């Protein structure tokens, strides 16, 4: 990477007003001079997500439906930075995230993600967190917070909008087909709320089934229907 790092943070949201109150100020603080813009893309929130994001200084765009792939593509379209960072609203970035991305880009990596830890002390979630250090077939999920060169993202065609689930794994698969993928050896903090509403086993089974169907080339619609049926919201 020859030019200076300019990060565009893109946050797809649906009814995330409370998380945005914490996430946006922390990104603004920790991003420092590397932060080019902070974009929130709303998929039809009925709470105060849009108002909260705007009041905190984020640029807000709205899609007609709640589809993370479409929301993130729209955010990328308007991003002015040379590096995109896709962040889920219930994630908490570490204080050095911008410097960590800079180091990775200076090493020549065009795309990568972070390790993560859950905001829970449960043993099985600690095991899940430990596994995020490995660059294997399950790496690169949205909770790991993907960074990617904007030019590379555009060359790949962005997120495939037909994937309303597994859109992150689809993109990472295409990234790995063209370039090395780097896992930054620093952890971000991820909400365990999905596991709080469902058992650990139920979430793992739902995730594995979705991944298995994804690898088999099952219709994204079928994958999502099966996933939603398996879990409580």
For tokens 């994804």, what's the residue?
A: 214
Residue 44 in contact with residue 16, Cβ under 8 Å? Answer: no
- What is the C-alpha to C-alpha distance for residues 68 and 60, in angstroms, rounded to an integer? 15
State residue 137's pLDDT score: 83
Provide the pLDDT for residue 93.
97
Domain CATH number, residue 92: 3.90.550.10
pLDDT in tens, 119-138: 999 999 999 999 999 998 88
Is the overall model pTM greater than 0.75, yes or no?
yes
At 196 the pLDDT is 87
pLDDT of residue 1: 66
Query: What pLDDT was estimated at residue 231?
Result: 82
List, in sequence order, every residue forming a beta bridge with 62; answer none if it has no partner. 42
- Strand spans (E) along the chain: 7-13, 35-42, 59-62, 83-86, 91-92, 111-118, 147-149, 182-190
Query: What are the tens digits of pLDDT across the range 15-38?
Result: 999 999 999 999 999 999 999 999
- Residue 233 and residue 146 share a domain: no
33-37's contacts with Cβ under 8 Å and 24+ in sequence apart are 34/5, 34/6, 34/7, 34/98, 34/99, 34/101, 34/102, 35/7, 35/9, 35/98, 36/6, 36/7, 36/8, 36/79, 36/80, 36/81, 36/82, 37/8, 37/9, 37/79, 37/80, 37/81
Is 54 a member of any domain? yes
Can you give the residue range of the structural domain that contains 17?
7-193
Q: Are residues 173 and 216 in the same domain?
A: no
Give the chain's residues under pLDDT 50.
Answer: none
CA angle 221, 136, 108 (to 5 degrees): 105
pLDDT of residue 2: 67
What pLDDT, on a 0 to 100 scale, did the predictor assign at position 139? 87
Residues 183 and 222 placed together within one structural domain of the fold: no
Q: Is residue 188 part of a domain?
A: yes
pLDDT value at residue 205: 92
Asked if residue 95 and residue 40 are part of one domain, the reply reads: yes
Are 118 and 186 members of one domain?
yes
Burial degree of 29 (CB within 10 A; 0-12, 13-18, 19+): exposed
Length of the chain: 233
1 in any annotated domain? no
Whether 148 and 205 share a structural domain: no
Query: Quick check: is 66 in a domain?
Result: yes
**Angstrom distance (rounded) from CA 29 to CA 36:** 13
């Amino acid at each position: 990477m020859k030019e200076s790092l300019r990060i565009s943070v893109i946050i797809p949201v649906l009814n995330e007003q409370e998380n945005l109150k914490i996430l946006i100020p922390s990104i603004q603080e920790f991003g420092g001079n590397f932060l080019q813009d902070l974009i929130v893309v709303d998929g039809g929130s009925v709470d105060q997500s849009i108002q909260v994001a705007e009041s905190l200084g984020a640029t807000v765009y709205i899609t007609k439906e709640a589809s993370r792939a479409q929301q993130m593509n729209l955010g990328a379209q308007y991003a002015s930075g040379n590096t995109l960072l896709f962040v889920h609203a219930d994630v908490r970035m570490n204080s050095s995230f911008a410097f960590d991305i800079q180091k990775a880009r200076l090493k020549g990596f065009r795309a990568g993600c972070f390790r993560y830890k859950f905001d829970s002390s449960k043993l099985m979630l600690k095991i899940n967190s430990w596994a995020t250090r490995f660059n294997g077939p399950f790496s690169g999920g949205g909770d790991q917070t993907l960074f990617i060169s904007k030019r590379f993202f555009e060359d790949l065609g962005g997120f495939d909008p037909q994937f309303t689930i597994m859109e992150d794994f689809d993109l990472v698969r295409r990234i790995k087909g063209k370039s090395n993928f780097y896992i930054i050896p620093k952890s971000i903090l991820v909400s365990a709320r999905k596991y709080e509403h469902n058992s650990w086993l139920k979430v793992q089974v739902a995730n594995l089934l979705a991944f298995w169907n994804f690898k088999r080339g099952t219709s994204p619609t079928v994958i999502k229907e099966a996933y939603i049926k398996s879990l409580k919201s």
